[in-house]
Structure 1
C-alpha cells in the first residue's frame, strides 16, 4: 500500500466511523425530546423512562462523536497539509460555526441530563430540544464544508493563488443545500430504522412491552416519514450532480457513452475494458429524465471526460446501487408501517411484522455509508473539485501506512467500547423500569 492509498484509506475509515455518530447525534435528541413531550402531556412513566434511557444513549454517542470528530480535524492537517494551507482560510467559517454549535450542544446536554427535578418541566424539555437543534446545525455546517469541496466558490484562482476570498459565498456554495438536505433526511432514516429495530427485538422477546412499543412507534414514524420523502431529495441531488459533476453521475450509473435517451441501470457490474455493464436491467430514457427532466436529453458519459479525471467507476457504481436498493427497502417498510397503523393495527403485535424491522436495523447506516462513498469516491481524483487533485494535497511525511494501522486500532477500540456501553444500557432497561412498566400486553 503506497502513502496515497494509505492516507485515503485512513480518511475513509475515519469518515465512515464518524458519520454513524454524527447521524445519531443529529437525530436521537429529537426522539428524546418527542418522548419527553409525551411524558409532560400525559404523565405516562413509560415516556419518562424512555426519555432518560435515550438521554443516556445521546450522551454516549455525543462523547464518542466528539472524540472521532476531533481526530478527523487533526487528520485533515496531518494527511493533507497542502489542501489545508489553501482551503483553511476559505472554508474555515463553517468549521468555526460548527465548533460553536458543538459548544452549545455540550452545555444543553449537561442541562438536560442533570436538570430532572431541578428546572421547570418545560424549560427542561427545551434544553433537550436545543441539543437536537444544535446537533443538526453541526451536521449541516460540516456538510456545507464538504459541499465546498465538491463545488468550490468564494475565491478567485489566479496564477496558482487563491485570492479575493469570500467565506460566506464559500459556505453557501452550489452544493451545500442539496447535500445538507439529502444527508439530514438520511440521518433520520438511518437512526429511525436502527432504533426501531432494536426496540422491535425487545418486543419480540416480550420484554417491557409498554416501554418498547412507545419507543418503536416514535422511532419508526420519524424514520418512515424520512424514508418516504428521501427519493425526492435524491432526485434533487441527481439533477444537481448532472450539472456540476457529470463525471460523478456517469460513474454512478456506469454511463460510458454520451447519448440521448440514456437508460437508467438497475444493478449490474461494470466492465471497464469493454465499457459495458453486465447483468443490469436497463430502463430506456430514465437516466435522461432523472438527470434533466427530459427523456430525450443528452447525458454526458465518461467518453467526454479526460481519462485521468475518471472517478473509480466500479466502487462508485456499486456503492450507488447499494444506497438505492437499501433506500427502497426502507421506503417499502415505511409505507407498510403507515398502512398498518391505518388499516391493520394488529400487525404491530405480530412476530413476522417485528422481524421485518429487526432485519432492517442496519440498512439505514449501510445506505449512509454507501452514499458517502459515492460522494467522496465519485469526486476523485479531486480533493477540491477542478482545482486540486488528492495526490497533490498529500503530506510528504513518510510512514502513512503505520498511521493508518494505528488509527484503525483506535477506531476499533472505540467501536468495542460503544457497543459494550450500549449493550449494558439496553440490558439495564428492563431491570431499571420493570416495576413501573407492568403490562398485560403480549406478542401474538
Structure 2
C-alpha cells in the first residue's frame, strides 16, 4: 500500500468509526430528555429508570466520540499538512466553535449525570436538554467545515495565494445548509431505528416489557419523523450538488453522457471503460427533474468533465444506490408505524411488526456510511473542490501504511469495548417493570 492510499484509508477508517459515535452522541440526549420530561410530568418510575439507563449510554458515546474526534483533528494536520497550512486560517472558525460547543456539552453532561437529587428537578432536566442542543450544534459545525471543502468560499485565490479571508463566509458556504440538514436528519433516523430496534428485540424476549415499550416508542417517534423528512432533504441536497458539483452528481448517477431528458438510473453496475451502466433500470427524464425540477433540462455528464478531474464512478454510484434504497426502506417502515399508531394500534405489539424494527437496526448507520462515501469519494480528485488536489495535500512523511494498520487495530479494539459496555448496560436494566403475564407480545 503506497503512502497516499494509506493516508486516505486512515482518514476513511477514522471518519467511518467517528461518524457512528458522533451520530449517537448527538441524538441520544434528546431521547434522554424526552424520557426525563415524561417522568417529571407523569411520575412513572419506568421513565426515570429509562432516563438513567440512557444517560449512561450517552456518557459512553460522549467519551468515545471525544476520543475519535480528537484523533481526526490530529490526522488532518499530520496526514494533510499542506491542506491545513492554507485551509486552517480560512475554515478554522467552525472548528473553534465546535470546541466551545464540546466544552458546554461536557459541563452540562457532568451536571446531568451527578445532579440527581441535588438540583431542582426541572433545572436538572434542562441540563440534559443542553447536552442535546450543544451536541447537535457541535455536529453541524463540523459538517460546515466539510461543506467548505465541497464549496470553498471566504477567500480569493490569486497567484497561488489565499487573500481577503472571510471566516464567516467560509463557515456559511453554499453547501453548509443542505449538508447540515441532511446529516442531522440522517443521525436522528439512524440512531432512532437502532435504539428502537434494540428495545423491540428486548420486548420480543419478554424482558422488562413496560420499560422497553416506553423506550421503543420514544426512539421510534424520532426515527420515523426523520426518515419521512429525509427524502425532502435529499432532494434539496441533490439540486445543490447538481449546481455546484456536476461531476459528483454524474458519478453518483453513473451519468456518462450529457443529455436532455436524462434518465434516472436504478441499480446497475457502471462500466467506466465502455461509458455505460449494465443491468440498470432507467426512468426517462427523472434525473433532469430531480436535478433541475424540469423533465427536459440538460444534465451534465462525465463526458463534459476533463479526464483528470473526474471522480471514480463505481464506488459513489453503488454507495448512493445503497443509501437511497435503505432510506426508502426506513421511510416505508415509518409509514407503517404511523398507520399502526393511528388506526392499527394492535400492530404495535405484534411480533412481525417488532421484527421489522429489529431488522432496521443497522439500516440507518449503513446508509450514513454510504452517504459519507458518496460525499468524500465523489469530491475526488479534490480535497478542496476546484482549488487543491488530494494528491498535492498529502504528507511527504514515509511509513503511513504502518500508521494505518495501527489505527485499524485501535479502532477495532475501541469498537469491541463499546459493544461490551453497551451489552453490559442493557443486561443491567432493572427488572422492576417486567410483567410477562399481562404483557406478552402477540404472535
Sort the TM-score into its range (normalised by shorter chain).
Answer: over 0.9
Is contact 1:45-1:436 (8 Å) kept? no
Structure 2 residue runs without a partner (length 5+)? none
Q: C-alpha deviations, 1:341-397, integer Å up to 9, x for none? A: 111111111111111110110000000000000000000000000000000000000
Following superposition, the deviation at residue 273 of structure 1 comes to 1.2
Q: C-alpha deviations, 1:143-195, integer Å up to 9, x for none? A: 00000000000001011011110000000000000000000000000000000
Q: Whole-Å Cα distance in 2 between the matches of residues 438 and 199 of structure 1?
A: 15
Q: C-alpha deviations, 1:236-266, integer Å up to 9, x for none? A: 0000000000000000000000000000011
Is 2:168 the counterpart of 1:168?
yes
2:440 to 430, 439, 442: 442
SS in 2 for 1:133: helix
Is 2:74 the counterpart of 1:74?
yes
SS in 2 for 1:98: helix
Q: Whole-Å Cα distance in 1 between the matches of residues 365 and 431 of structure 2?
A: 31
Partner of 2:370: 370
Is contact 1:46-1:437 (8 Å) kept? no
SS in 1 for 2:428: helix
Partner of 1:397: 397
Partner of 2:309: 309
1:15/1:54 CA distance change after superposition, 3 Å: same
Is 2:109 the counterpart of 1:109?
yes
Q: C-alpha deviations, 1:256-286, integer Å up to 9, x for none? A: 0000000001111001111110111101000
Is contact 1:247-1:305 (8 Å) kept? yes
Q: C-alpha deviations, 1:71-130, integer Å up to 9, x for none? A: 001100110000000000000000000000000000000000110111011000000000
Partner of 2:2: 2
Following superposition, the deviation at residue 435 of structure 1 comes to 2.7
Q: Whole-Å Cα distance in 2 between the matches of residues 148 and 397 of structure 1?
A: 26
Partner of 2:421: 421
Partner of 2:57: 57
SS in 1 for 2:277: strand
Q: How does 1:285-300 map to 2 (within 5 A)?
A: 285-300=285-300
| TM-align CA RMSD | 0.7
Following superposition, the deviation at residue 25 of structure 1 comes to 1.1
SS in 1 for 2:206: coil
SS in 1 for 2:421: helix
Structure 1 residue runs without a partner (length 5+)? none
Following superposition, the deviation at residue 437 of structure 1 comes to 4.9
Is contact 2:209-2:433 (8 Å) kept? no
Q: C-alpha deviations, 1:301-336, integer Å up to 9, x for none? A: 000000111111000000000000000000000010
Following superposition, the deviation at residue 434 of structure 1 comes to 1.3
Q: Size of the alignment, in residue pairs?
A: 441
SS in 2 for 1:215: helix
Following superposition, the deviation at residue 54 of structure 1 comes to 0.4
Is contact 2:210-2:433 (8 Å) kept? no
Is contact 1:323-1:371 (8 Å) kept? yes
SS in 1 for 2:106: helix
Q: Whole-Å Cα distance in 2 between the matches of residues 391 and 22 of structure 1?
A: 28
Partner of 2:137: 137
Q: Whole-Å Cα distance in 2 between the matches of residues 36 and 300 of structure 1?
A: 51
Q: Whole-Å Cα distance in 2 between the matches of residues 169 and 104 of structure 1?
A: 25
TM-score by structure 2 length?
0.99
Following superposition, the deviation at residue 438 of structure 1 comes to 4.5
Is contact 2:148-2:176 (8 Å) kept? yes
Runs of 4+ deviating beyond 6 Å = none
Q: How does 1:31-430 map to 2 (within 5 A)?
A: 31-429=31-429
Is contact 1:262-1:287 (8 Å) kept? yes
Q: Whole-Å Cα distance in 1 between the matches of residues 276 and 435 of structure 2?
A: 61
TM-score by structure 1 length?
0.99
Partner of 2:11: 11
Q: Whole-Å Cα distance in 1 between the matches of residues 121 and 410 of structure 2?
A: 40
Following superposition, the deviation at residue 436 of structure 1 comes to 4.9
Q: C-alpha deviations, 1:19-51, integer Å up to 9, x for none? A: 001111111100000000000000001100000
